Structure 1
Amino acid sequence: MSRERNHAVAAGGRGKTPWQPVVLIALLTAAVAGVQLSGASEYLQQDRLKVLIASYGTLAPFIYVLIYSLAPVLFLPALPLTLVGGIVFGPVWGVVYTIVGATIGASLAFLVARYAARDWVASRLTGPKWERLQSEVALHGWKVVAFTRLIPAFPFNLLNYAFGLTKIRFAHYVLASFVCMLPATVAFIVFSSSLLDLLSGRVSPAALAGIGLVLAVVLVPVCYRRRKASQGGLAATE
């Protein structure tokens, strides 16, 4: 019965279609249509935003990095901040400032869990999946950090705290997080750097590249889960 149930689950997983890319394209299309119909495109000028940010002078990048660094600690969503980084700072400096802020934020949450509020965090991260995370880190170390950054299986903000409860070295955690968060960071920054053009109805090569990169980032976890489900189903029938 167990083998049949596992095989059925795997077969169901193979039958599902990855809906995330469809939702992403639908939302983007709806946003473009809404902006065009409302006449708001004249306000979505990248130059205007840059002038606004430039009014803060050299403090603008530091303010952005500071806000981004606090977001994971306070459980704030990082995606809106990432989009702002690409729009305001462009595809190069947007990546630099965003990956620095994301790495600092992940590190701060890690240190809070390890040294400042270990018991409080441990009392809230209970259950088999978190216990399995600790055992996997004990066996494979930084490779688990790299894997979960490339193929997110846990909520990002909770994951930062969870790694603080493991025995992984802080330096290994920071380096693996920095390197393996780069692909998604580059994808979303390249996409958002041309987002205002897309909302205004202008499709540039950078916009197409950004959409392709985001779709790739979204599809990686989907393909991985489908592959694992398929392997599980094959293993159950052997």
Structure 2
Amino acid sequence: MNVRRLAPRLLLLACVALAVIWMGLNRDLLDSTALDSWLAGLGVWAPVAYVGLYAAGTVIFLPGSLFTMAGGALFGPMWGAVLSLLGATIGAGLAFLIARYIAGDWVMQKAAGRLKRLIDGVETEGWRFVAFVRLVPLFPFNLTNYALGLTRIGFWPYVVTSLICMAPGAVAYTWLGHAGREAIAGDTSAIRYGLLALGLLAAVAFLPRLVTRLRKGEAMTWIEPEELHRQIESGRPLTVLDVRGADEFTGQLGHIPDAVNIPLGELDRRLDELRSTANGEVTVVCRTDKRSAAAQTILRNAGFKNVAVLRGGMERWAALGRETVRDGSGKGPVTT
């Protein structure tokens, strides 16, 4: 990485670190009453300032409950919940992007062993894992935003899932702020236990699947387009299996030269056919990589040992300017 590209990242990292340190040394300034008074004095600009402060506070590790209850006290239970959720989501998205921009590529290059299996497992579960950590109140919100940015979970699935799964907590704490922190102090345990119960349901729904996948070593095995291109150019024994439909195989994106086309829906009954044509390792391809992930599971269950998924699929392959074929001249049977 050259200095010109590294300098902005280091500057951004330094700014975030300094803000976090300053707030850590001045936590006594976090007075909810003062925050309420300041926002109330802004008039029509109060909602905008509130959302901006909430987002910034999320990035620098300020407690979200402080802002959420202030939102309930100032804007009422409905608009307070909407604005709180908006600020938390924007802040979570910013922290995610900061982590990915500063360290995401470096972490993926260095990841190995259990760390790589964990990252791949998280990426395989995608939005389900995001839903799990948002609903289970055991994961620190601010830290999780940065941690998920180090994986390759898509930004928009991350944001949308976070928005939906943070809503119960936002509504609960906004109502708490609206009703008055002191007046209903005796009822705070009900909210806490309610959120804990919701988190337990999330754990029952999502955790077993993730743990099972990691224990069995079934985490996704990815291959980057650049690496696949190098392997093809080197003449390494390799079968590229495209699991799209025939219309997609010869469509706008075309297909990788010499790819075998077996649509995902037909893969189970055409495994013997694939075994007869497979040459060494198998790389699975689709438009993005979702169908490829399902195909990888089918092939592994059928005894195929070295199966990888092309990250980003044909969309990323084509975006990088790699060679494609659009005339249906792929190797092996092309479905019609």
TM-score bracket, normalised by the shorter chain, equals 0.5 to 0.7
**Match status 1:105 vs 2:91:** yes
Q: 8 Å contact 2:58–2:142 — kept in the other structure?
A: yes
Letter paired with 1:68: Y
SS for the counterpart of 2:61 is: coil
Q: From the superposition, tell whether residues 140 and 226 of structure 1 become closer, same or farther in structure 2 (CA, over 3 Å).
A: closer
Q: From the superposition, tell whether residues 109 and 85 of structure 1 become closer, same or farther in structure 2 (CA, over 3 Å).
A: same
Q: Residue 218 of structure 1: CA displacement?
A: 3.0
The aligned counterpart of 2:196 is 218
Q: 8 Å contact 1:191–1:211 — kept in the other structure?
A: no
Letter paired with 2:102: A
Deviation larger for 216-225 or 91-100 = 216-225
Q: From the superposition, tell whether residues 111 and 225 of structure 1 become closer, same or farther in structure 2 (CA, over 3 Å).
A: closer
SS for the counterpart of 1:111 is: helix
Q: RMSD of aligned C-alpha atoms? A: 3.7
2:72 to 86, 89, 98: 86
Q: 8 Å contact 1:87–1:195 — kept in the other structure?
A: yes
State how 1:137-156 maps to structure 2 within 5 Å.
Answer: 137-156=122-141
Structure 2: distance between partners of 1:90 and 1:143 = 31
The aligned counterpart of 1:170 is 155
1:76 to 62, 69, 73: 62
Letter paired with 1:88: L
Q: Residue 168 of structure 1: CA displacement?
A: 1.1
Q: From the superposition, tell whether residues 133 and 109 of structure 1 become closer, same or farther in structure 2 (CA, over 3 Å).
A: farther
Structure 2: distance between partners of 1:127 and 1:187 = 40
Structure 1: distance between partners of 2:63 and 2:36 = 23
The aligned counterpart of 2:237 is none
Structure 1 residue runs of 5 or longer lacking an equivalent are 1-45, 233-238
Q: Residue 224 of structure 1: CA displacement?
A: 7.1
Q: 8 Å contact 1:145–1:173 — kept in the other structure?
A: yes
**Match status 1:115 vs 2:101:** yes
Q: 8 Å contact 2:39–2:50 — kept in the other structure?
A: no
Structure 2: distance between partners of 1:132 and 1:152 = 24
Normalized against structure 1, the TM-score is what? 0.60
Q: From the superposition, tell whether residues 52 and 72 of structure 1 become closer, same or farther in structure 2 (CA, over 3 Å).
A: closer
Q: In the comparison of the two structures, how many residue pairs are matched?
A: 176
1:188 to 154, 170, 173: 173
Q: From the superposition, tell whether residues 144 and 50 of structure 1 become closer, same or farther in structure 2 (CA, over 3 Å).
A: closer
Structure 2: distance between partners of 1:140 and 1:118 = 18
Q: From the superposition, tell whether residues 198 and 113 of structure 1 become closer, same or farther in structure 2 (CA, over 3 Å).
A: same
Structure 2: distance between partners of 1:53 and 1:110 = 27
Structure 1: distance between partners of 2:201 and 2:70 = 29
Q: Residue 179 of structure 1: CA displacement?
A: 0.4
Structure 2 residue runs of 5 or longer lacking an equivalent are 1-32, 212-336
SS for the counterpart of 2:153 is: coil
Structure 2: distance between partners of 1:90 and 1:121 = 43
Normalized against structure 2, the TM-score is what? 0.44
Q: From the superposition, tell whether residues 52 and 141 of structure 1 become closer, same or farther in structure 2 (CA, over 3 Å).
A: closer
Q: Residue 215 of structure 1: CA displacement?
A: 2.6
Q: From the superposition, tell whether residues 162 and 52 of structure 1 become closer, same or farther in structure 2 (CA, over 3 Å).
A: closer
Letter paired with 1:89: F
Q: Residue 66 of structure 1: CA displacement?
A: 0.8
1:158 to 143, 147, 156: 143
Structure that is richer in strand per residue = 2
Structure 1: distance between partners of 2:82 and 2:55 = 13
Structure that is richer in helix per residue = 1
